[in-house]
Amino acid sequence: MIALLLLAFPLIEIAMFVIVGQAIGVFPTIGLVLASFVLGVVLLRTQGIGALARAQAELQAGRDPGAHMVGAVMTVVAAILLIIPGFVTDIFALLLMIPGVRQLVWHRLRSRIAVSGSFAGFRGATGSTRWSGNRSRARGPVVDLDESDYSRKPDPSGKPDPNSPWRLGKDS
């Protein structure tokens, strides 16, 4: 079935080129293909990066960035589909740009996507909490270290501290 679809898709694209070429002419058809290419490149450079920035802002605010990340991925896919020559791919790309279609795709995919990680306990360089999230997904205890806990002080004897949690194990 997949092999049949892989064979049928380019044939459908070729048929669409012939139909559109007969309807509007060769040069306008080539113009449409070039215009969709330029639109795809511009979309990839502007909207794709902007969507990733919005996802990062959601993450920093402590909210789940899943919808924004999926939106960014859909924008990148739409841009790539516009870059690929063909009218059927352009139709799919334009459908992905409609917010209602994006929401429908997100609602369909949300149950199939597993987010790995935690949004808990991020502290910026100033020590202030920039965001906090749900710690229930954390995989272990959070260890908060002070500077003195991880700084290395030279030992006068040159031997490692036997009480240090950072010493090498017997197998190392």
Q: Could you read off the pLDDT of 62-102 as tens digits, one per residue?
A: 777 777 777 778 888 899 999 999 999 999 999 998 888 88
Over residues 26-76, the pLDDT tens digits come to 999 999 999 999 999 998 888 767 776 777 788 788 777 777 777 778 888
pTM given for the model: 0.60
Q: Is 15 in contact with 29 (CB distance < 8 Å)?
A: no
Q: DSSP letter at 111?
A: T
**pLDDT in the model for residue 23:** 95
